[in-house]
């Protein structure tokens, strides 16, 4: 099929005559005569939409639907478990928060156990405020980027025959969401009583930082921890399961899109 006035071929359908067969099983020379005929058919389909019929095939959405349901199910499960855990912890620690936030002198008269040893240091401002605020802003930007990518994928923007969109969209969205990172980083930096920051919007809209319990004047000395409680092992153990689940799901999605 071709387009009128543009002479562009957008589809080819090849057929063979099942009655015109030649036996090549014997080890001898055989004369073969090849013939073909061409039939041109005009179509109204634009050249830019020539691949739409393949992206909307009946098999592709079926595979993708299964994996999207699996991903959504995993996300909902994680959010529900996190919500349940947060609710239980807040109910257990609510009275302690009230006690340490209102009557600090009475709190010190009682024996402290567990997390209560460092209750006055949990919300102490970090030493490198600008680095902490920048990391929070960048994380917020990456989260917004992930949300937009998933939304575009759900509405069908990415499909196998338009691979460039999958690489172009993150770059464009990352540039457009840079304002989110700047706003969050600036506002949080000024909540930590930081100074000499170049932000404008976040600086003018800053809110006062409200900690659930008071911070002591002097930090408590923290005893040395076992190696498996240090930062790097804890980060590796905390991120292993989520990374594995996301990697496996994305692997099967990419396989269904580009390999089938």
User: What sign does the CA torsion over 124, 235, 189, 85 have?
Assistant: negative
Number of domains in the chain: 2
Q: Is residue 119 part of a domain?
A: no
Instruction: Say how many C-beta atoms besides its own lie within 10 A of residue 120's C-beta.
Output: 20
- Please say if the pLDDT value at position 56 is more than 70: no
Q: Is residue 117 part of a domain?
A: no
139 and 176 together in one domain: yes
pLDDT at res. 63: 46
pLDDT at res. 206: 59
Calculate the CA 108 to chain-centre distance: 44
- Please say if the pLDDT value at position 114 is more than 90: no
Calculate the CA 160 to chain-centre distance: 20
Identify the residue with better confidence: 4 or 28: 28
CA distances from 222 to 124, 215, 259 (A): 14, 16, 53
Which residue among 197, 232, 247 closes a domain?
A: 197
Query: What's the rounded mean pLDDT across residues 120-126?
Result: 79
Q: Is residue 1 part of a domain?
A: no
CA angle 147, 237, 120 (to 5 degrees): 85
92 and 132 together in one domain: no
Q: Is residue 138 part of a domain?
A: yes
Which residue among 143, 163, 197 closes a domain?
A: 197
pLDDT at res. 176: 93
- Please say if the pLDDT value at position 9 is more than 50: yes
pLDDT, averaged across the chain: 75
* 68-77, 80-89, 210-219, range with greatest mean pLDDT: 80-89
Q: Is residue 118 part of a domain?
A: no
Q: Is residue 150 part of a domain?
A: yes
Give pTM, 2 decimals: 0.52
87 and 132 together in one domain: no
For 183, the domain range is: 126-197
Q: Is residue 147 part of a domain?
A: yes
Q: What is the pLDDT of residues 192-247, one digit of tens each?
A: 877 777 666 666 665 677 776 777 777 777 778 788 878 888 888 877 777 777 77
pLDDT at res. 43: 80
pLDDT at res. 62: 46
Q: Reduced to 3 states, what is the DSSP secondary structure of residue 36?
A: coil
Query: What's the rounded mean pLDDT across residues 82-111?
Result: 68
pLDDT at res. 174: 93
DSSP secondary structure code for residue 5 in this structure: T
pLDDT-derived band at 175, boundaries 50, 70, 90: very high
pLDDT at res. 113: 57
Query: What's the rounded mean pLDDT across residues 183-199?
Result: 80
pLDDT at res. 60: 46
184 and 143 together in one domain: yes
Q: Is residue 161 part of a domain?
A: yes
Which residue among 169, 197, 225 closes a domain?
A: 197
């Amino acid at each position: 099929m071709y387009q009128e006035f543009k002479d562009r071929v957008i589809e080819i359908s090849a057929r063979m005559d099942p009655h015109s067969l030649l036996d090549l099983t014997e080890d001898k020379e055989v004369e073969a005569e090849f013939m073909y005929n061409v039939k041109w058919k005009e179509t109204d389909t634009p050249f830019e939409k020539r691949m739409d019929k393949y992206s909307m095939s009946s098999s592709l959405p079926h595979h993708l639907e299964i994996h999207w349901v699996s991903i959504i199910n995993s996300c909902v499960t994680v959010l529900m478990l996190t919500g349940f855990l947060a609710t239980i912890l807040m109910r257990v620690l609510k009275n302690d928060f009230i006690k340490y936030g209102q009557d600090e002198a009475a709190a010190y008269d009682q024996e402290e156990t567990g997390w209560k040893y460092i209750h006055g240091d949990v919300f102490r401002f970090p030493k490198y405020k600008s680095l902490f605020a920048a990391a929070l802003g960048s994380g917020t930007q990456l989260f917004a980027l992930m949300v937009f990518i998933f939304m575009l994928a759900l509405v069908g923007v990415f499909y196998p025959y338009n691979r460039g969109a999958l690489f172009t969209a993150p770059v464009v969205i990352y540039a457009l969401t840079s304002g989110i990172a700047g706003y969050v980083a600036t506002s949080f930096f000024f909540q930590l009583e930081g100074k000499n920051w170049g932000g404008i919007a976040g600086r003018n809209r800053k809110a006062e930082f409200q900690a659930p319990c008071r911070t002591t004047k002097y930090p408590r000395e923290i005893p040395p921890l076992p190696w498996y409680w240090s930062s790097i092992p804890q980060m590796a153990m905390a991120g292993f399961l989520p990374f594995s689940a996301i990697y496996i799901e994305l692997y099967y999605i990419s396989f269904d899109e580009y390999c089938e």
